Amino acid sequence: MDFAEARRRMVDGQVKPNRVTDPRIFLAMQEIPRELFAPEALRVRSLSDEDLPLGQGRAMMQPLSLSRLLQLAAPRVGERVLVPAAGTGYAAAVLAHMGAQVIAVEEDAGLAALGAAAIAASGLPPGSLRQESGAAAAGFPAGGPYDLIFLEGGVPAVPPSLVEQLTEGGRVVTIRMAPGETGSAIVGRRAGAALRIEEAFDLRGTAIPAFAPKLGFMLA
C-alpha cells in the first residue's frame, strides 16, 4: 500500500471538506506517518474515518475529529504544549510539526514504545517532541507552565491538577463528554485558579479512561 498517497487522500477526502482550513494541519497530516503510530495489524485502518482502538479502552482519534480539535486549539509556533494520555503520540507529533514545543505524557509502556519508534521516523525537528512517562491527570509540572494542554478524546471534566499547569490565559482543548453523549469540543482558558469554558461545536470521540469521573473533577 502506498501510505503517502493514502494520507493525501485522507486529508483531501476527510479533512479539507469539513470546515478545516489551516494549511499547517493539512501538511502535518500528510507528512506525519499516521500508520506507524498504529499497531501493525491496524495500519491500513489507521487512515479510515474512525477512531482506531489501541486496547484497554484507548483509541487514536479519527482524522476528521482530530483535525477539527487541532484547528480549535490553534497552536502557535514556539508554544509549550502538554498532551496527557498521549497514547502512541500521533496528535503530539502533529502539534510538533505545526511548530509547538510538545511534551507527550503516557503511562502505558507499550503504547509509548510504539510511539517512540513512530516519532523517530517522523522527521520532526530535534527537541520539538519529548515523551515522558506518567499518569494523565498528573500532567508533567516540571515542563510547565504550558500555553496549551491538548486532550485527544472525551473527558467529563478537566482536573485542577492540569489547570494549575497552565499559564494565565493558557487553554485546554478537549471534548467534554458525559456518559452516553456525543460530546462538545471546548476551549477552557485559565483565569486565576478557575477554568472558563467555551463550547465550540458538537464533536464525537472516545472517552479517555484515565479521566473517568472522580470527586473534585469539576468544570468551572
**pLDDT tens per residue across span 49-83:** 999 999 999 999 999 999 999 999 999 999 999 99
For residue 92, how far is the Cα from the chain centroid? Answer: 6
The domains of the chain, with CATH numbers, are: 61-211 (3.40.50.150)
The lowest-confidence range among 149-153, 163-167, 214-218 is: 214-218
Retrieve residue 26's grid coordinates: 493539512
pLDDT at 214 over 70: no
Question: In the chain, pLDDT over 70 holds for what percent of residues?
Answer: 96
pLDDT at 212 over 90: no
Q: Which residue has the cell 487522500?
A: 9
CA–CA dist 153, 80 (Å, integer): 20
Give tens-digit pLDDT for 35-53: 999 999 999 999 999 999 9
| Structure confidence at residue 171 (pLDDT) | 98
56: alpha, beta or left? (left if phi > 0; alpha if psi -120 to 50): left
- Supply the mean pLDDT for the chain: 94
pLDDT at 219 over 70: no
Angle CA 142–76–127, to nearest 5:
50
* 209 and 186 Cβ atoms separated by less than 8 Å: no
Q: Which residue has the cell 463550547?
A: 199
Please report how many Cα atoms fall inside a 13 Å half-sphere around the Cα of residue 156, on the Cβ side.
13
| Structure confidence at residue 120 (pLDDT) | 96
* 146 and 81 Cβ atoms separated by less than 8 Å: yes
Helices 23-31 and 63-73 pack at an angle, to 10 degrees, of 140
Overall size of the chain counted in residues: 220
| Structure confidence at residue 181 (pLDDT) | 73
pLDDT at 159 over 80: yes
| Structure confidence at residue 182 (pLDDT) | 78
Retrieve residue 94's grid coordinates: 502533529
CA–CA dist 173, 69 (Å, integer): 7
Give tens-digit pLDDT for 174-190: 999 877 677 999 999 99
Q: What burial class does residue 19 get, using C-beta atoms within 10 Å of its C-beta: 0-12 exposed, 13-18 middle, 19+ buried?
A: exposed
Give tens-digit pLDDT for 95-119: 999 999 999 999 999 999 999 999 9
**pLDDT grade, residue 215 (50/70/90)?**
very low
For residue 177, how far is the Cα from the chain centroid? Answer: 15
Q: What is the mean pLDDT of residues 138-144?
A: 97
